């Protein structure tokens, strides 16, 4: 069954590569490549609906006067045709807002194995003065991962899963293991599943609530060519005109840079817009954030824990800094896809110094 697709087919017709000097064979190949790479399931369905609509209109205007004849002629094909219709309805994927470009990137990421990302966490808008945090995320699968988060004062939190256990070394160098080790919401979900173990999850979150822009050819800072895709959350409102609760929970913007050759995600930027914590959720006398503090990621919405800005210079066990609330922006860059050593994810493998 064909799963035709493309990012641009649902929008204004895009120019095709010039074919003036092509012979018929090349011209046909050119068209088939174009169809193979530029028709989305959504546009294919839309085209079929449009064609059937046109046939309906023709029928309404009395253009088809031989239906009974046709009915008799085609009767013998009944079962097979009905079966074809059912198969078509059951097997053809439902229309989704994501393009084939994203779908192919998701497929690649699902198959990915060892990967190492650099990341940067920027605070939410209401804590703009807090400095960004930088780190690294090494991932093999949901049972093997390693997160290193560096703080402006030179300390570091290291968290890992080595297949047998979850472990952590906090900013004071204390080692912990087991259930006390929590992961930030943008790394692991409550059920232990990873959010960024596969960019596929991120891509899968780009649904019909997002407006996907036409991909752009661009280059990354290191000069590598990339195709940039931007998906922006549509602003939704309730009957009273208030923005709905999606704000703060889902990213308002997802930017992806894909390799034009491999379709791998080379870089991703995810932006949230969490609302300012309510004053009565804060401990008495504490401002939302101060220069030098890690970005506060807790918030009162969605049943999350109350906002607890960290004390200046505090070296907590890594709870508030790595809580489940989203930051303002998360930027992830693929650094390598080289296989890790066997003991790469073990706590013994890591020192606390940068």
Partner 1 sequence: MTTPLPPNDHSSSEISDTEIPQSAVPSARQLFEVLVREQSGSLLAFIRAVCHDRSIEDDLMQEAFVIAWRRLGDYDRSRPFGPWLRGIAARCAMKRRRTRGAVFVDEATLESLTQHANLFESSRNHEQGERIDAVRECVERLAEEHRTVVRLAYQDCHALRSIADCLALSEENVKKRLQRARAAVAKCMQSKGLLA
Residues 254-273 that bind partner 1 (CB under 8 A): 260-262
Query: Minimum distance from CB of 217 to partner 1 (Å)?
Result: 4
| Count of Cβ atoms closer than 10 Å to residue 245 Cβ | 13
Query: What whole-number distance in Å separates Cα of residue 119 and Cα of residue 2?
Result: 38
**Taking CB under 8 A as the rule, which mask of x and - marks residues 125-164 in contact with partner 1?**
----------------------------------------
Q: Which residues between 16 and 45 bind partner 1 (CB under 8 A)?
A: 16-19, 23-39, 44
Nearest residue (CB) to partner 1, 263 versus 315: 263
Candidates 113, 218, 236, 244: give the one binding partner 1 (CB under 8 A): 218
Choices 8-16, 107-115, 191-199, 230-238 (CB under 8 A): range interacting with partner 1: 8-16
88 lies in the binding site for partner 1 (CB under 8 A): yes
Query: What whole-number distance in Å separates Cα of residue 197 and Cα of residue 110?
Result: 9
β-strands 115-122, 329-336 pairing: antiparallel
66 lies in the binding site for partner 1 (CB under 8 A): yes
Smallest CA-to-CA distance from 231 within 259, 251, 258, 247 is with: 251
Query: Minimum distance from CB of 255 to partner 1 (Å)?
Result: 15
77 lies in the binding site for partner 1 (CB under 8 A): yes
Q: Which residues between 96 and 115 bind partner 1 (CB under 8 A)?
A: 101
Query: What whole-number distance in Å separates Cα of residue 345 and Cα of residue 135?
Result: 16
Query: Minimum distance from CB of 253 to partner 1 (Å)?
Result: 20
Query: Minimum distance from CB of 259 to partner 1 (Å)?
Result: 8
- Per-residue tokens: 325: 């609330």
Candidates 98, 166, 182, 227: give the one binding partner 1 (CB under 8 A): 227
90 lies in the binding site for partner 1 (CB under 8 A): no
Which residues touch 126 (CB under 8 Å, ≥6 apart)?
A: 274, 275, 276, 277, 288, 289
Query: What whole-number distance in Å separates Cα of residue 87 and Cα of residue 1?
Result: 10
Query: What whole-number distance in Å separates Cα of residue 292 and Cα of residue 313?
Result: 8
The C-alpha angle 20, 24, 30, rounded to 5 degrees, equals: 70
Choices 178-186, 214-222, 277-285, 291-299 (CB under 8 A): range interacting with partner 1: 214-222
337 lies in the binding site for partner 1 (CB under 8 A): no
70 lies in the binding site for partner 1 (CB under 8 A): yes
Query: What whole-number distance in Å separates Cα of residue 306 and Cα of residue 301?
Result: 8
């Amino acid at each position: 069954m064909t799963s035709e697709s493309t990012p641009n087919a649902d929008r204004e017709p895009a120019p095709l590569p010039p074919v003036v000097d092509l012979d018929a064979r090349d011209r046909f190949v050119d068209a088939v490549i174009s169809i193979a790479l530029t028709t989305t399931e959504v546009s294919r369905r839309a085209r079929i609906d449009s064609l059937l609509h046109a046939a309906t209109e023709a029928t309404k205007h009395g253009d088809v006067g031989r239906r009974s004849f046709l009915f008799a002629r085609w009767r013998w094909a009944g079962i097979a045709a009905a079966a074809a219709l059912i198969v078509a309805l059951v097997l053809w994927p439902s229309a989704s807002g994501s393009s084939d470009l994203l779908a192919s990137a998701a497929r690649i990421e699902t198959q990915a194995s060892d990967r190492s990302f650099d990341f940067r966490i920027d605070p939410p808008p209401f804590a703009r003065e807090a400095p960004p945090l930088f780190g690294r995320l090494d991932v093999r699968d949901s049972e093997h991962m390693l997160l290193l988060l560096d703080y402006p004062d030179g300390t570091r939190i290291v968290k890992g899963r080595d297949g047998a256990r979850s472990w952590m070394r906090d900013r004071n160098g204390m080692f912990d293991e087991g259930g006390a080790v929590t992961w930030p919401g943008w790394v692991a979900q409550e059920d232990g599943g990873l959010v960024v173990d596969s960019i596929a999850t991120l891509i899968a979150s780009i649904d019909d609530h997002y407006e996907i822009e036409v991909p752009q050819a661009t280059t990354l800072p290191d000069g590598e060519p990339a195709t940039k895709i931007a998906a922006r959350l549509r602003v939704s409102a309730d009957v009273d005109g208030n923005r709905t609760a999606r704000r703060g929970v889902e990213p308002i913007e997802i930017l992806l840079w894909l390799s034009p050759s491999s379709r791998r995600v080379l870089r991703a930027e995810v932006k949230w817009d969490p609302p300012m914590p309510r004053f009565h959720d804060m401990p008495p006398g504490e401002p939302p954030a101060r220069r030098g503090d890690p970005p506060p990621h807790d918030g009162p919405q969605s049943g999350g824990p109350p906002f607890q800005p960290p004390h200046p210079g505090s070296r907590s066990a890594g709870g508030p800094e790595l809580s489940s609330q989203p930051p303002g922006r998360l930027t992830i860059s693929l650094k390598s896809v080289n296989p890790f050593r066997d003991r790469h994810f073990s706590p013994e493998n890591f020192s606390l110094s940068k």
